[in-house]
């Protein structure tokens, strides 16, 4: 039975070479559009997420602000500032905090080598900062460690761009830099990373020193902000509530006063980014789906032509005892075969294109935002499902028409 179906199918294709070719091309093009749109949409979504994580990985940044409501006899506009001890307090008192760091900041810090002088934004932090801000060192270097903090060492971690500005093609690790006229040793340089969200400039143009060294050099009593990362993102709201309760109690401000202690929540940003990426994929799939549907019209058209040209043959089959279900199955099979054949070609071509683009390793400019296109298993499964639906819908109506052929009338058909 299956051999007969295949023989008849390819015989029909041979009789309508041009129409069959155009139909297969339309299906392949529609499939190519769906798969490529989803692949590049997934790559764009991934690069957007990577760029956001470049500024902070599941981090909650807690800033000191100003009170905006009266509280227990204390007026509006009172400044709230935190200290290093507050970070230790939160780490010990709030369950679920995995990483934390104080964060000092200083604009206009001067970095000087023998040949180059430049200014940048410099921060004083602890070792947890590396993970929370995804500032991982390139090969041969390291981030600041606990010993650097405890001994107030004059060590410096540089962003990749400022390292090139200071040292050119030389390896900066182990070399000396004058930071505001104080000698520091470079212990590491950040791996290049994509960063689409930032405060006080990109990390690539930043200098990092231990927070104890910063305090000792500049005499700051208050930190600029506190960085907190939960053990699990699901603990986000509980941890934020715990931070508010402890800090509002210590510094006497209304827990509901958001301006007294603003927070920048990267976990919320990540969730929003995921929703945007999902919406983008749905939109791109919708565009590709309608392209495939147009191709499905071509499949339906060729099937109606096949039914018309084989009216006498169908009538003879029915007259000699062929059941209607066999006639319907035959035409639906042919419609599905056309859809899957064209779809298979489209998937193969799109896979080759995605592989070629990925192997080009585009970097810089639009290439950074385009990311690496990725064909997900879900995209292939959904596309195959859509092809099956199109093949079924394109074949079922011509098949029903064929099954209703009157054997007597069909013999008179010219």
**Residue 234 pLDDT greater than 90, yes or no:** no
- The tokens of 381 are what? 């499964």
Contact 213, 154 (CB under 8 A): yes
Q: How far apart are CA 189 and CA 300, in angstroms?
A: 61
Query: Which among 329, 338, 347, 340 is positioned nearest to 299, based on CA atoms?
Result: 338
114-118, 129-133, 197-201: the lowest-pLDDT one: 197-201
Q: How far apart are CA 80 and CA 66, in angstroms?
A: 6
214-223, 275-284, 323-332, 377-386: the lowest-pLDDT one: 323-332
Q: How far apart are CA 28 and CA 6, in angstroms?
A: 20
Decide which of 287 and 209 is more confident.
Answer: 209
- The tokens of 41 are what? 């949409």
DSSP per-residue codes, 62-130: EE--B--S-BTTB-TT-B--B-HHHHHHHHHHSTTEEEEEEEEEEEEEEEE-SS-EEEEEEEEE-TTHH
Q: To the nearest whole number, what is the mean pLDDT of the chain?
A: 83
104 CB-near residues (< 8 Å, 6+ apart): 123, 124, 125, 211, 214, 215, 218, 220, 223, 224
> Which pairs with CB-CB distance under 8 Å and at least 24 residues apart come from 378-382?
379/34, 379/35, 379/38, 379/39, 379/42, 380/35, 380/347, 382/285
Q: Which of the four pLDDT bands, split at 50, 70 and 90, describes residue 34?
A: confident
178-192, 196-210, 314-328, 341-355: the lowest-pLDDT one: 314-328
Residue 175 has what pLDDT?
Answer: 95
Torsion of the alpha carbons at 43, 357, 283 and 365, rounded to the nearest 10: 70
Q: Which of the four pLDDT bands, split at 50, 70 and 90, describes residue 406?
A: low
Helices (H), 211-265: 211-218, 236-251
Query: Which among 28, 22, 15 is positioned nearest to 306, based on CA atoms?
Result: 15
- The tokens of 377 are what? 């298993």
Residue 95 has what pLDDT?
Answer: 93
**Residue 315 pLDDT greater than 90, yes or no:** no
Q: Which of the four pLDDT bands, split at 50, 70 and 90, describes residue 49?
A: low
27-41, 184-198, 281-295, 363-377: the lowest-pLDDT one: 363-377
pLDDT digits (tens, 9 = 90+) for 207-220: 999 999 999 999 99
Percent of residues, the chain, with pLDDT higher than 90? 39
Q: How far apart are CA 38 and CA 112, in angstroms?
A: 48
**Residue 51 pLDDT greater than 90, yes or no:** no
Residue 193 has what pLDDT?
Answer: 85
Could you give the 3-state DSSP secondary structure of residue 236? helix
**Residue 317 pLDDT greater than 80, yes or no:** no
Percent of residues, the chain, with pLDDT higher than 70? 83
Q: Which of the four pLDDT bands, split at 50, 70 and 90, describes residue 374?
A: confident
- The tokens of 89 are what? 């307090």
Q: How far from 403 is each of 208, 220, 302, 307, 311, CA to CA, in Å?
A: 78, 88, 17, 10, 10
Q: How far apart are CA 21 and CA 27, in angstroms?
A: 10
**Residue 167 pLDDT greater than 70, yes or no:** yes
pLDDT digits (tens, 9 = 90+) for 60-76: 999 999 999 998 888 89
**Residue 364 pLDDT greater than 60, yes or no:** no
- Average pLDDT over every residue of 318-332: 69
Q: Which of the four pLDDT bands, split at 50, 70 and 90, describes residue 90?
A: very high
Decide which of 202 and 379 is more confident.
Answer: 202
* Domain extent listing, the chain: 2-53+270-411, 60-265
Q: How far apart are CA 250 and CA 95, in angstroms?
A: 18
Residue 181 has what pLDDT?
Answer: 93
- Average pLDDT over every residue of 9-36: 74
Model confidence, pTM: 0.72
Residue 201 has what pLDDT?
Answer: 81
107-116, 216-225, 250-259, 339-348: the lowest-pLDDT one: 339-348
Residue 370 has what pLDDT?
Answer: 60
**Residue 231 pLDDT greater than 80, yes or no:** yes
Residue 64 has what pLDDT?
Answer: 92
């Amino acid at each position: 039975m299956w051999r007969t179906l295949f023989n008849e199918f390819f015989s029909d294709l041979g009789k309508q070479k041009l129409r069959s070719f155009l139909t297969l091309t339309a299906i392949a093009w529609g499939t190519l559009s769906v798969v490529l749109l989803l692949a590049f949409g997934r790559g764009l979504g991934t690069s957007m997420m990577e760029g956001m994580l470049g500024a902070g990985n599941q981090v909650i940044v807690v800033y000191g602000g100003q009170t905006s409501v009266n509280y227990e006899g204390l007026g509006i506009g009172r400044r709230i500032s935190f200290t290093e001890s507050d970070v230790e307090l939160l780490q010990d008192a709030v369950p679920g905090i995995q990483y934390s760091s104080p964060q000092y900041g200083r604009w206009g810090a001067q970095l000087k080598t023998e040949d180059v002088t430049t200014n940048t934004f410099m921060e004083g932090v602890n070792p947890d900062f590396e993970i929370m801000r995804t500032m991982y060192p390139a090969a041969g270097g390291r981030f600041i460690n606990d010993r650097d903090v405890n001994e107030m060492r004059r060590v410096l971690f540089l962003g990749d761009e400022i390292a090139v500005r200071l040292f050119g093609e030389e390896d900066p690790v182990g070399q000396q830099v004058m930071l505001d006229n104080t000698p520091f040793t470079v212990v590491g340089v950040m791996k290049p990373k994509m960063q689409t969200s930032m405060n006080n400039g990109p990390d690539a143009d930043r200098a990092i020193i231990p927070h104890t060294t910063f305090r000792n050099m500049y005499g700051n009593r208050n930190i600029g902000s506190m960085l907190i990362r939960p053990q699990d993102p699901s603990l986000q709201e509980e941890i934020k509530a715990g931070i508010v309760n402890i800090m509002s109690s210590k510094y006497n401000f209304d827990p509901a006063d958001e301006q007294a202690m603003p927070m920048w929540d990267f976990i919320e940003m990540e969730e929003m980014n995921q929703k945007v990426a999902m919406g983008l994929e749905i939109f791109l799939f919708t565009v590709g789906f309608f392209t495939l549907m147009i191709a499905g019209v071509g499949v339906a058209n060729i099937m109606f032509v096949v039914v018309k040209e084989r009216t006498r043959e169908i009538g003879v089959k029915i007259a000699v005892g062929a059941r209607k279900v066999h006639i319907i199955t035959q035409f639906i099979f042919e419609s599905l075969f056309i859809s899957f054949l064209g779809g298979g070609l489209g998937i193969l071509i799109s896979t080759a294109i995605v592989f070629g683009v990925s192997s080009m390793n585009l970097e810089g400019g639009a290439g950074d935002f385009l990311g690496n296109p990725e064909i997900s298993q879900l995209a292939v499964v959904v596309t195959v499902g859509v092809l099956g639906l199109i093949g079924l819908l394109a074949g079922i109506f011509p098949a029903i028409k064929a099954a209703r052929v009157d054997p007597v009338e069909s013999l008179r058909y010219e």
